[in-house]
Chains A and B, each alone.
Chain A
Amino acid sequence: MSSHRVTAILVIHDGALWLPEVLASLTSQTYPVNKSVAVDTGSEDGSAKIVKGARIPVLPMARDTGFGEAIGHAVSTLPKIVDPEREWIWLIHDDLTLHPSALANLIAEVETKPSVAMAGPKLLGWHDHTHLLEIGVSIAANGNRWTGLESSEYDQGQRDGVHEVLAVSTAGALIRRDVFEQLGGFDPNLDLFRDDVDFGWRLYSAGYTAIAVSSAIAFHAEASANERRMVDVAEAFLHRPLLLDRRNAAYVLLVNSSLWLLPILTVQLLSGAIFRAVGFLFAKLPGYASDEILAVGALILQPADLIKARKVRRAYRLVPSGIVSRFIPSRWSQTRLALSRSAEWIRTQLFPAEITEVREISVLDENLDEEDLLTSASNRSWVNLLKRPLVALSLLLFFLTLVWSRNRFGALSGGALPEQPNGVSDLWDIYFSGWHSIAMGTSAAAPPWLAVVAISATPLLGSVKFFIAVLFFLAPLAMATTLHLLLKGLSENRWLTVSSAVLYAISPVAISAINSGRLATVVILILLPLLVKAAGSWREIEKFSWRRVFSISLLVAILAAFSPIIFLFGIILTGIAIYHDYHDSDQGLNSELFNYRLYRRIALVLTPLLLCAPWSFELIFNPNRFLIDSGFLIPGGGPNLAIFGNPGGPGSLPLAVLSPLSIILIISLFSSTRARRVAEFGFFSLLSAVLISAISLTGNGTLVPTRIYPGTLMTITTLSAICAAVIMLDKLRDRLIATNINFRHISAATLLVATILYALSSIGWIVTKGATSPLQTGREIVLPAFLAIESDAKTLVLRPRTSGKEISLNYYLARGGDISLGQPDMAPQDREQISNAVRELTDGSGLTSSTTFAVHGIKYLFLKSPVDENIARVVDGLGGFNRASSTNAGIVWKTVGNTGQVLFKDASGKGSVLVEGILGITVSAPGELTLTENYSLGWRAMQDGQRLKRTRSVDDLPVFTVEKPGLVTLMYDGTLRRAWVSLQIVVFVTVLVMALPAGRRRREIEDAELA
């Protein structure tokens, strides 16, 4: 038997709930505790009485007494030390039970390690005895309590052993009494929390060590940290444990670290606090957020305590404080743990634990021993895996996509998709900018989908091109996946749901959208099933939580940003729903129900509008744009193709590949199941698509009337038809078998044949012709490189366009390059002066075309190949244009008149072109500066800090009157745009916070979940 003398000190504070078990475990230790003493810090729940009942003397103290002070008081009542190296104090919390051999195992270890002055047990959860809470503890550089364990780590003995650690928790800590007294006990500035780490740090500085002994086991409820009782210590401002914990963490770091580390530590603590505070705000835990900021702020504002504490430590320090650096977790360890936790969180969100079938042990299995039970009963070979519909059809779709995309591996453009900038920063520049250099320039608001693309591309190394390429490549799989998530709720027949999802991915609208680079429709195809899944039961919207309402709003905002017709569709549906709500609520008599629904519906409509402001407001003033998706305006196939569920247009399936969608809808309309209701919706959408596809519009930078592409409506139609089919076909087989041949058999056979024929023909088309679509990689650039060099020079590009049998001429103003993502959506309206000049140029009557071009700063005229020789002759003959080059790319003429971005006319009327330098434009005489951009109130010219007078020229260009020679700075004042973006960010963050799942306060978490 060892001769170590152990005094157990039990600190109690409203611990009646746990004390009976604590006392029982304390008294049942196999190694006898020589003496037990309890300190009661003002318990109000009879804790002291319970302890006294166990014949343990209780020392009463004030309610706001700290843990360290209570221990110190207890130690001071003990008799003098007789054998310093063999006298120990054992700190017991009132929410800690001990394994009977805990003390014996601790003593056994310290006996063989004379340098050890502190030893602690392995702490397991109070409720879940397999939950490993701690086995030694440290502190990270950002103040986090570091245990090195994974979240809710299951104890399988994987951490067992005796480990040298920075500190052990005070719960169950065995401390040499002489060392405790030598170091002055726990720091009085640390009433609760982190006193253990601080003591361990001081212990090492004094030349001692600490160990964690896994054979010694204790079970801890962590009642204070988990907010199971009030924290009443003097320093606990507002009784907030997190605030106290964070404050103490910062204190420990700042008083124990080397002096030279203090600046960086301060910055780390502050930035860490802000970062975590933002996180708590997103989790709707503003109290915790304020705790983070207050904790660090309070400490930094009271440096006297820190200075004093550092002096005290210096007095006892034998070795530098850096000796503990091996216990401080590296950044990599912290990152790895954070990544591991994130991955685990994502995994649990994506694949929530499913209740798997439990195979009951049969009579035959009775002889199986435990080891046999661990072996999986099923035989999972690769062949069996391939027989699963999800795997088999996903693989089929993947390989089909590979073949389909064979010309699309790389940066994509063509069809409705313009060239993309390299990085997301370029997209953000466009998004935040108040002025866009497109044609003659515009102050139109950038569409919000640019921000969505920029955010989505950020994880892919910020490469927009890569993101777009990946999106279009994975689009069929993504479409199938999201639809399958929806269909899973409609049928349990996986063959039916998966094959329907694949059919969706190769539906006419999907093929057409991918082939013609229609980003908007692709996004709608991917996300719409999620919206339907989230808002499926929206008739009973009163059952939706506000969080769900805002989540749906966010999704609607994203969809509407790409395809504004969603706004229109949403408003129509909301109107119908409110009408039904009125009837459901007994003509408004049940105002509570009506209002519940109304508020939520209004939020669903208004939030996306606000999120997309000011772009959405521009749509209201230009309603045509509701019908135009993002990107270039390219035509659809018209109503006669749309009626077959095919939106048509370049890259779409030919009419011969007949889609079964219309047949499905028609059959479903006669169904008696709820498929009929879905089909009615789809049929309405189909008819809307047919009507809309007959309309021709101009917009998105084109004045060529173009048939609307009904991609979004056709997506709704396709989705409805497939959902209706799944509902109808689910368990239909059983019904068909059970009945004589009737119309159901005929309908089912028709539907099946039509679908199989479509699947085969569409796959055949995809494999053979699908890759030669308008959307391709490695497209040539329109503007020759030598024109692109002069990035600020405007070039009027003339190009023949084939429309059916007619070849017509189109033109546009290039600003140093091809059109980039987002620019068609913001393209300004054509200027009459320029369009007249171009018309006269091509019909040979434009003797003043060159002058008009020069006035508008158009420096070059580029006739793109294939060159119409007649036009070339006409331009040659008109005068005012000098041929600059004639290459395979086309013919370039230079405007004869001197022109550029900034034109200057002095008082005598003499004109010149000024070049903008780094500092601005140097003007040599008084006169008028003309900026060859569209007039806008945002244009400013500053000279000597004064704003120059701005007027509008007859050509609608901004003109500034310069009174004296000197440097003039030209700029566009984007304050309004910045204000809008700021407002948008505020709305977005608010909606995001509302939509995100709320974090739980620790007091709201189940005991079993915590410990």
Chain B
Amino acid sequence: MRFQRPVALVGSVVVTLLVANGINVGLSKDEFSTNYPAVVCPPTPNNLTTAISLPSSKTEFRLTGTKSLSLIPTQTLRYMQAKAPVIIESQGATPVVWQIRKDVWAGATICSSLQNEQWFVGGAADVTSTGRIMLVNSGLSAAIVDLQIWNEVGLQPSKPVTLKANSYSEIGLDLLAPGSRRVVVQAITRSGRVTSYMLDERGKGLRALGGDIINFAPSATKEIFIPAIPHTVKKVGTKSVELPHSLRLLVPGEIDARVSVKVLSTDGTFIPAGLENKLVKAGSVVTLDLNPKLPTSKFGIQISSDEPLVASVFSSTLAEGKSDFIWSTAVPALTKFSLATTGIAPQLIFIGTSISAEAELFFNNGKRKQVIISGEEIATLEVPDGVRSVTFKKVGKGIYGAGLVATKSGYGYFPLAAGSVLTKSSVPLSNIRVLTP
């Protein structure tokens, strides 16, 4: 046959290639394991009460500072934490911590997993302050944390802190930066599994001025979103007086920043006078007045800068006739995650150019409800009582959210951010090649 050889040639090549590509003998991809790291909640300072909302009564936890390392179920949907911080295996759900000094102030935060870097923008170290930073080492080895402190003067000498294994520590802000009126603290974990929290509590003489938990920002960025700033109008006689806000900024680099602050509210989006292209000096903590004169009760801001910076908004509040203050802090973009809200019925505020998200409310009675969140610039979701968790199932791009909780003890603010994210780690394989350059 004239074409026998070419056909045999082509056939053998094709068959070989098919077999070679098809059988893929013994090839296996690297194995990966996924899990949600445990989250750590802040300790309960003296005379404070802490309630932690949990997604399930079967959620396991353990206390720091004890020898027992075994996890036990909480058997409740709202765990009342004693002094020692708890470590919770929440399996992806983010517990919300509600902390109050009864009838004095209230604050909220989320329990989160270990953090490499945390920025706390807020608090003071002057005579009015009894604020403190709380460091929790949930690991079983000693940990080292460097605390970098900025105040209105500039960067202060850093304070390395060593934490024993499975322990926590509280450090007063007055010890870190004595006399400072405006403080920004950066906690950098050098080694160990450390999660830090900050409490701003103030008083004048015997009079309590309020307090709040200052939520952290993970890093300094050029775009900052602070979604939920409560705007309170106080009746003084017949007059309505808007309670003031102040914007605290720190440009941690060496170059001054040009900053623009945009207010997002249901009454529109605008840049308040004097807050466009504002020059902010680098290296020291700066405070700017933020009085947008709005009829609405909540608003958010977007800060744009040509240099990375950190920011938060200090707002005086009035909740059920009690004066308090609140620190609204920067949040990361909203992602799909689940938030445990048992017993707090928060108001969730979202900002963004075009807000489109879908959440599922999971009630204590086992019912579920789908909620569509949509809007321009700002949107709000009131979480009703009896909801144990809110799960964000669909989330559009460029949405930022935070929660506000108002009780008779005061206002609390927490970011809508996952306390722990699904981590994917490869299963290590033995490979002698690690010992060659």
Contact = CB atoms under 8 A, between A and B. Distances in A.
Interface of A: 413-414, 418-419, 439, 632-634, 639-640, 643, 666, 669-670, 683, 687, 690-691, 693-697, 700-705, 707, 779-783, 797-799, 801, 803, 806-812, 814, 818-819, 823-824, 827, 830, 835, 838-839, 842-844, 847, 864, 869-883, 886
B107 to A, nearest CB: 27
Most buried by A among B6, B13, B143, B436: B436
B16 A691 contact: yes
A829 B244 CA distance: 69
B7 interface: no
Given A639-B21, A687-B16, A873-B192, A830 B430 contact: yes
B16 A878 contact: no
The 6 nearest A-B residue pairs measured at CB: A879-B140, A877-B139, A701-B432, A877-B193, A639-B20, A779-B437
A419 B432 CA distance: 13
Interface residues of B, number: 52
Contact of B433 (A666, A669, A702): A702
Most buried by B among A702, A803, A809: A809
A808 B435 contact: no
A694 B138 contact: no
B5 interface: yes
Contacts of B428: 798, 808-811, 835, 838-839, 842
B33 A843 contact: yes
B425 A842 contact: yes
A743 to B, nearest CB: 12
Given A810-B428, A864-B434, 11 more contacts: A632-B433, A639-B21, A696-B28, A702-B429, A704-B431, A705-B27, A798-B434, A819-B436, A844-B35, A875-B141, A880-B140
A687 B21 contact: no
Interface string B14-31: 001101110111111110
Contact of A876 (B23, B29, B69, B141): B141
A797 B114 contact: no
Contacts of A702: 429-433
Contacts of B148: none
A889 to B, nearest CB: 12
11 contacts: A639-B16, A690-B16, A691-B19, A694-B21, A696-B24, A810-B433, A812-B431, A873-B116, A874-B193, A876-B141, A877-B138
Contacts of A803: 30
Contacts of B236: none
Nearest to B9: A669
A835 B430 CA distance: 7
Contacts of B29: 806
B320 to A, nearest CB: 41
Contact of B27 (A696, A809, A830, A844): A696
Contacts of B165: 879
A814 B435 contact: yes
Nearest to B27: A696
B423 interface: yes
B143 A809 contact: no
A439 B435 CA distance: 11
Nearest to A891: B191
B28 A705 contact: yes
B206 interface: no
A746 to B, nearest CB: 15
B135 to A, nearest CB: 14
What DSSP secondary structure best describes chain A's contact surface? mixed
A623 to B, nearest CB: 13
Most buried by A among B17, B20, B430: B430
Most buried by B among A781, A783, A879, A886: A879
Nearest to B15: A687
Given A808-B426, A808-B429, A842-B425, A704 B20 contact: no
Given A835-B430, A842-B428, A843-B35, A886 B191 contact: yes
A803 B21 CA distance: 19
B26 A705 contact: yes
Nearest to A800: B426
B432 A824 contact: yes
Contact of B25 (A695, A783, A823, A830): A695
Contact of A640 (B21, B32, B189): B21
Contacts of A696: 24-28
Interface of B: 5-6, 9, 12-13, 16-17, 19-21, 23-30, 32-33, 35, 37, 69, 114, 116, 138-143, 165-166, 189-193, 423, 425-437
Given A643-B13, A705-B26, A818 B436 contact: yes
B20 A691 contact: yes
Contacts of B138: 877
Most buried by B among A418, A683, A797, A808: A808
A640 B434 contact: no
Contact of B430 (A810, A823, A869): A810
A842 B140 CA distance: 14
B16 A782 contact: no
Nearest to B114: A873
A221 to B, nearest CB: 67
Given A639-B20, A810-B433, A819-B436, A879 B141 contact: yes
A596 B427 CA distance: 57
A847 to B, nearest CB: 7
A794 to B, nearest CB: 12
Given A643-B17, A669-B9, A690-B16, A873 B139 contact: yes
A639 B141 CA distance: 49
Nearest to A624: B26
Nearest to B435: A819
Nearest to B137: A877
B61 to A, nearest CB: 16
Contacts of B30: 704, 803, 806, 808
A875 B29 CA distance: 25
A879 B114 CA distance: 15
Contacts of B191: 872, 876, 883, 886
Nearest to A688: B16
Most buried by B among A690, A803, A880: A690
Given A810-B431, A812-B430, A418 B425 contact: no
B431 A869 contact: no
Contacts of B192: 873, 876-877
Contacts of A799: 434
Given A806-B426, A843-B425, A414 B437 contact: yes
Contacts of A779: 437
Contacts of B423: 870
Given A669-B9, A691-B16, A809-B426, A881 B141 contact: yes
A669 B4 CA distance: 12
B20 A818 contact: no
Given A632-B433, A819-B436, A869-B116, A640 B17 contact: yes
Nearest to B138: A877
B25 A694 contact: yes
Contacts of A877: 114, 138-141, 192-193
Contacts of A694: 19-21, 23-25, 27
A819 B432 contact: yes
Contacts of B139: 873, 876-879
Nearest to A643: B17
A827 B432 contact: yes
A864 B437 CA distance: 11
Contacts of A643: 13, 16-17
Contacts of B16: 639, 643, 687, 690-691
Nearest to A809: B428
Contacts of A883: 141-142, 191
Contacts of A797: 434-435
B432 A693 contact: no
Nearest to A827: B432
Nearest to B115: A873
Contacts of A632: 432-433, 436
B214 to A, nearest CB: 23
